[in-house]
Chains A and B, each alone.
Chain A
Amino acid sequence: MSMRLLDHPSTQPPAEGKPLELEEMRSGNEMAAKAAAQINYHVMGYFPITPSTEVAEYLDEMRVRGEHDIVMIPADGEHGAAGICYGASTGGGRVFNATSAQGFLYMLENLPVQSGTRFPMVLNLVTRSVSGPLNIHGDHSDLYYGLNIGWPILLARDPQAVYDMNLIALRVAEHRDVRLPVIVAYDGFFTSHAKRRVKFFRDRQTVQNFVGPVPEPPVTTLDPRHPVTVGPYMNEPDFINNKYQQSLAMYRAGEVFQEVAEEYAALTGRFYGPLDLYRMEDAEVALFILNSAAETARAAVDELRASGVRAGIVSPNLIRPFPLRAVQEALAHVRVVLVAERADSYGGHGPNLTHEVKAALQEIHAPVHVLSRVFGLGGREFYPQDAMNLFGECLGWLQGADVPSFDYYGVEPGDEDAVPFAPGLPPLTREQTTGFISVDRDESTGRLRVKAPNLRALTAKPRRLAPGHGACPGCGIFPGVETFLKGIEGDVVVLYQTGCAMVTTTGYPYTSHRVTYLHNLFQNGAATLSGLVEMFWEKKRRGEIPVGDDITFIMVTGDGGMDIGMGPALGAALRNHRMIILEYDNEGYMNTGAQLSYSTPLGHRTSTSGVGEKGQGKSFPHKDTPQIMAAANIPYVFTGSEAFPQDLIQKAAKAQWYAKHEGLVYGKILIACPLNWQSPDDQGNVIVGAAVRCCFFPLYEVEHGKTTITYDPEAKGERIPVSDWLKRMGKTRHMLRPENRALLEQFEAEVERRWRRLRAKHEHPDL
């Protein structure tokens, strides 16, 4: 190979009359962000979910460098994000978002509203498998939920196409005959995270010229001189006509896509037809397959062609509208086509596109045999050899073998003689976990009295979590949760919402939970657990559970779970189920790569609240979740920290008493995240202790509405300045720079204000 060194960034001399393009090594997520920044959308309403989260992160990096003006709104969940995007789009500007999997499903309800009321935007769907069990890797099970929502769906097979399709998508969305929101779908991890050589326009103006100025919207909610009613209550006979308009617009989108793609090809030389065809001219056997796997399969086609087999690949560049004519033309003369799909339509004798291909061929009475295979679910890798094997199915059918029409590819029965799971630990007995702590109520004062031994004696109480979990070195979750559980006696059932504690303790086929554990989703753990609690009590009432049996139900959630799950948590609190919600707050969405949560304090750096010329960390103060929960008038609310273990154990004991006798308990523990706080692994305990001593995170409890500060650093003469806490973390070091003095003072004032108010509540029984 030549050792020639190129200038960087490498620039390709533009062809005659073509705009200048740069060449870089970029991932799909980087290219989606790049396109969005160059388009300079007005608004992005977003919520983190793997593997699409990086799009917002890259845009935030560019935002703080001043490279775009997009207003980036961190939503309370994808349902909120979709609402933000919808609301913004009715105002006639440009709107952008990216999501995946559960996030897409959580916003799903809003998506037909947007297409039905005809407001354009561009949504990047970074495809990932839908739970459960939870899986973060790439397949198309989320995408298939989008087939019926009325959004045109463009596919992008590699990072280059992600960029190109994002520019094309906006033109399609805003076209006067279309006026529909558009999805650009690309493969999670395979395309979103892997880097390839890509080209993009050097000058933002080139992109601006291509997308043009924002077209005058036919309807806008921001023109008081032209009042308009958006989203009326529409019954029959009108509704079906609205839908027919929408149907026409969708088919028109297919034509507009072709027109725009041709214009784009003239600009760049990169052309996207409705289908990407590989060696289909005279093909006898074909694979119909989407996105990155279609690229991989090309190697198999080349190998088959070399041995005389006429093989080819059909891969659509858009699936809504379904490119009917193009599919008919491409496949009319093959003898057998295998539709390989990374999703299933359970019970449908083949996933969705199988039937669309079959219908297309049936319409022209083409004598083509259609095979259908589900493959690659949950990110199962797809190698060229796998494509060979799928072609092998086609060839087998041609040779008269008994080949099933529909099947799964790549499943394994498992070894029935093998020991299936690594041996676990014997179940904890009630005796082992009881007898350490006692709680009784002082009948004269109504206050609970807790007797708990020291930490040494409590080492005899078995942990509810076994070692061997995969959390980072120095993770604060487990000392926090385990210290709390030291105060809980007897049998427990835990529910973890999605987050670090969940993924690091339950990576199949291992579990670190010695007690029964349940996971549902990111946001509705409180609802889920309340259902289980009521099932327990009803079974008990019916005599289906022995009288002596008692279970304490504990939900464990991160601060992210309390953002997206605030509604269900408040619902459970207002219904006052006998359960405990324990929130471990590490001040961000650490499981997805340290995006800001509402609990991230003012000024703190996260991957979506960056530090740079145009940003100095999070722009609004942290959420006071204990006060929100206290306002639900539940029997007991507390805060705690591993740095004050006896305090936390006492509160755990009280929490259990209240959860048994009265109703819902909420507690928040502040825990360290060395990785994303950018602090040494060994300093977690010291840092959360400093957060308590500087009064950022006061230790207190609210018992039947009465606030008691359980550790008062001021009264003890142990209060430290806020900066003594902030200086210990890389994420806050910028706040101590002289130029950020005003920011620091603003933060200190907020800490002080909340502390004074808490003191007042502590001192006055009616507050």
Chain B
Amino acid sequence: MNEPSVQNAHSFLEIRMESIGGLGANLAAKILSESGVLRQGWNGWYAASYGSEKKGTPVKAFIRFAPPEVEIRGTYPVDEPDVVAVFHEALLRSPSTLSGLRPGGTLVVNTKRSPDEVRRQVKRADIHIACVDALGIAHREGARLNTAMLGALCHVVPQLDPNAVRSGIEEVFSERYAHLLDANLRTFEGGLAQVREAQGTGGDASGLDKAPQSRVSPVLGYKTQWIGGAIPSAGNSVARDLSASRQGFIPALDLDACIHCAACDQVCPDACFVWESRDNGRGRVFQYLVGIDYQYCKGCQKCVVACPTHALSTIAESDAYVLEHRVAHRLHEREVNIR
């Protein structure tokens, strides 16, 4: 008997989807894995990362394909993918997103940027990079971007048969959301047709991170965790960056039109509005809105609806705007200066 000696020798295609809850990576992975197994006749396995499963938090989906006669054993994440599909380009900022991507592997990114720009960011000369404006296509067609990502995947991964995936989309949508079927098929075709690619040079893989991502050691261990799991660092979630939860839109604040009524502040789920106490010029101290801390804004736009004066409006997000207009909370100083 000729036994394979490497753990994944029997699978021939491993895909990892990196996404944000709500973008539909889970459904995309379901369609893709079913297409491979039920329509292309392979064996397959599919799973998604599960946490508290909130919309807007990072999620991963994993697909493993093998020849039909090969048993797929066990159930563990895809740590050395042939293909990584990134549904939200903000995720490229996290080094774990490309972790383990095999030398010469393929990266598919939902972005308006060019493959060369993405390559400069991810510092991987060896990989094939495919860019698709999945969000733009999906907006035009009135669908979610996941089917555009499926189209792009079919374009760049030679083993994937677009007809099989197309049938998969038809089946899933005609079962439960028939009114969305046409828009999703058009979105799929858009993704299939509108891919911008750049081959890797086969050379430098300097950005290659060999460590399997789920095996990143926690900072705290049995010698350093507080007894019973207590967290002694009150309010330390301020260190987290929630900006990747947004789906392309942010509220913009025009202070000239603001009457400082705090309606926005009251409805905001994420405490994004930054206030300061100021003398009104006549010896009385009032609260004044000074800006939005975009680090925590998830882009829900409740504030825009609540604003009585149109001081708040919804705009398409750009990194440059956020960088220029973010007003950071000064929670530490505020405690000292508030009185």
Contacts and interface: CB of A to CB of B under 8 A. Distances in A.
Contacts of A429: 335
Interface stretch (A410-418, A441-449, A535-543): A410-418
B5 interface: yes
Contacts of B55: 472-473, 675
Interface string B275-293: 1010000000011010001
Interface stretch (A142-150, A202-210, A503-511, A554-562): A503-511
A462 B269 contact: no
B211 interface: no
A23 B38 contact: yes
Between B5, B231, B233, the greatest number of chain A beta carbons within 10 A of the residue's beta carbon is seen for B231
Interface stretch (B88-96, B125-133, B259-267): B259-267
Interface in A418-445: 418-429, 431-432
B74 A293 contact: yes
B54 interface: yes
Contact of B220 (A2, A420, A459, A685): A420
A475 interface: yes
Contacts of A3: 40, 161
B57 interface: yes
Interface in A189-221: 189-191, 193-197
A4 B269 contact: no
Contact of A4 (B41, B52, B56, B268): B41
Contacts of B300: 473-474, 674, 681-682, 684
Interface string A351-376: 00000000000000000000000000
Given A1-B40, A414-B222, A420-B224, A467 B75 contact: no
A457 B167 CA distance: 58
A277 to B, nearest CB: 15
Between A299, A306, A507, the greatest number of chain B beta carbons within 10 A of the residue's beta carbon is seen for A299
B75 A190 contact: yes
Contacts of A456: 260-262, 286-287
B221 A467 contact: no
A604 interface: no
Interface stretch (A88-96, A322-330, A337-345, A381-389): A381-389
B222 A426 contact: no
Contact of B50 (A189, A195, A431, A432): A189
A404 interface: no
Nearest to B57: A470
Interface in B286-339: 286-287, 289, 293, 295-296, 298-302, 304-306, 329, 331-332, 334-335, 338-339
A473 B75 contact: no
A411 B74 contact: no
A483 B266 CA distance: 7
Given A2-B41, A455-B263, A514-B234, A193 B47 contact: yes
B234 A511 contact: yes
B266 A642 contact: yes
A5 B237 contact: no
Interface stretch (A6-14, A258-266, A571-579, A736-744): A6-14
A267 interface: no
Interface in A1-35: 1-6, 8-10, 23-25
Interface stretch (B135-143, B198-206, B239-247): B239-247
B3 A306 contact: yes
A136 interface: yes
Interface stretch (B29-37, B97-105, B108-116, B181-189): B29-37
Nearest to A411: B222
B50 to A, nearest CB: 6
Nearest to A435: B339
Contact of B221 (A411, A427, A505, A510): A411
A222 interface: no
Nearest to B271: A467
Contacts of B217: 412
A468 B296 contact: yes
Given A473-B55, A682-B305, A685-B302, A479 B267 contact: yes
Contacts of A463: 271
A515 interface: yes
A478 B218 CA distance: 29
B139 to A, nearest CB: 15
Interface residues of B, number: 109
B332 to A, nearest CB: 7
Contacts of A508: 229, 231
B239 A194 contact: no
Interface in A646-674: 674
A193 B223 contact: no
Contacts of B76: 296, 381-384
A749 interface: no
Given A296-B75, A459-B265, A470 B260 contact: no
A458 B221 CA distance: 41
Interface in A662-709: 674-675, 681-686
Nearest to A305: B3
Interface majority SS (helix, strand, loop, mixed), chain A: loop
Given A8-B39, A191-B75, A471-B269, A459 B212 contact: no
A460 B287 contact: yes
Contacts of A457: 286-287
Given A415-B221, A425-B238, A463-B271, A299 B7 contact: yes
Contacts of B224: 413-416, 418, 420
A424 B221 contact: no
A219 B269 CA distance: 56
Contacts of B87: none
Given A295-B75, A299-B73, A479-B268, A685 B305 contact: yes
Nearest to B289: A459
A269 to B, nearest CB: 15
A515 B22 CA distance: 31
Contacts of A503: 52
A694 B266 CA distance: 23
Interface in A460-517: 460, 462-463, 465-479, 482-483, 500, 503-515
Contacts of A591: 52
Given A3-B40, A455-B266, A136 B231 contact: no
Nearest to B171: A8
Contacts of A465: 235, 271
Contacts of B229: 132-133, 508
Between A1, A508, A675, the greatest number of chain B beta carbons within 10 A of the residue's beta carbon is seen for A1
Contacts of B233: 421-424, 509, 511
B206 to A, nearest CB: 25
Contacts of A299: 7, 73-74
A195 B45 contact: yes
A619 interface: no
Nearest to B331: A425
Given A420-B220, A474-B302, A642-B267, A466 B235 contact: yes
Contacts of B75: 158, 187, 190-191, 194, 292, 295-296
B286 A425 contact: no
A470 B242 contact: yes
B164 interface: yes
B163 interface: yes
A274 to B, nearest CB: 21
Q: Identify the 5 closest CB pairs spanning chains A and B, nearest first.
A: A414-B221, A296-B74, A468-B237, A466-B235, A424-B233
Interface of B: 3-7, 12, 21-22, 30, 33-34, 37-48, 50-57, 67, 72-77, 79, 159, 161, 163-164, 167, 171, 212, 214-215, 217-225, 228-229, 231-240, 242, 245-247, 260-263, 265-273, 275, 277, 286-287, 289, 293, 295-296, 298-302, 304-306, 329, 331-332, 334-335, 338-339
24 contacts: A5-B167, A25-B46, A195-B44, A197-B43, A293-B74, A302-B4, A385-B7, A411-B222, A422-B236, A422-B239, A423-B239, A456-B260, A470-B56, A470-B240, A472-B298, A473-B247, A479-B266, A507-B51, A510-B231, A511-B234, A513-B234, A674-B300, A681-B300, A683-B305
